[in-house]
Amino acid sequence: MAAIHLKSSVVSDFLRHAEKEYPNECCGFIIGTDDTKTKKGVEYLPAANTKDTNRERRFLIDPLAYQEAEDTADERGLSIISIVHSHPDHPDKPSEFDRNHAWPGFSYIIVSVENGNAKNYRSWQLAPDRNNFNEEIIKIIQE
C-alpha cells in the first residue's frame, strides 16, 4: 500500500476545520512534497465549500481557490498533494460522486464527522482506470 506522511499539525488543522463546518462538508488542500517514494504533507490550506445547495453532502472548490493554493505552494517550493473533505454523519469512504469527480495522482483524505466530532479519516487514491479508490497508509510525522 502506498503511504502519505502528514505533519501532525496538518491533521489537527483539517480535523478542526471539519468540525467547524459541520453539518456541512468542509474542503481544503494539503501542500507538500511528492518524491517518487513518499508524499509528505506539511501544511493544510482550508478552502470554502462554494456549493450553492446540499453542502451537507457535496462540496465544490472554486477554481480560483485552487489557483491560490497552487500559488501558495509554488512560493514555498511545494505542490498540492491532497484534497481533503469531510463526510458529516457518513463513513470516511469515497462516494460515487467523489469517484466521478476525482483526479488521478492526488490523495483524497476523507474525514468522517459524527454529531460534530471528527471520528476517523482515511486517505484514498483513484485507480488509473478510475473504477475504484485504493486506500493509502497515513503516517503522522512531527516535522
Among 98, 102, 118, 121, binds Zn ion (CB under 5 A): 98
Asked if 60 touches Zn ion (CB under 5 A), the answer is no
Angstrom distance (rounded) from CA 105 to CA 122: 16
Q: Return the number of the residue (33 or 51) whose C-beta is nearest Zn ion.
A: 51
**Rounded to 10 degrees, what is the CA torsion of 27, 67, 71, 120?**
10
Backbone angles phi, psi at 14, to 5 degrees: -75, -30
Contact window for Zn ion (CB under 5 A) among 44-52, 93-101, 115-123, 130-138: 93-101
Closest distance between Zn ion and the C-beta of residue 66, in Å?
17
Dihedral sign computed on CA atoms, order 26, 50, 43, 40 = positive
Asked if 95 touches Zn ion (CB under 5 A), the answer is yes
Angstrom distance (rounded) from CA 69 to CA 113: 24
Indicate the pairing of strand 39-47 with strand 27-34.
antiparallel
Site for Zn ion in 16-55 (CB under 5 A): none
Contact window for Zn ion (CB under 5 A) among 29-37, 48-56, 64-72, 97-105: 97-105
Contact window for Zn ion (CB under 5 A) among 64-72, 74-82, 94-102, 115-123: 94-102
Indicate the pairing of strand 3-7 with strand 133-141.
parallel
Asked if 92 touches Zn ion (CB under 5 A), the answer is no
Which residues contact Zn ion by CB under 5 A? 95, 98
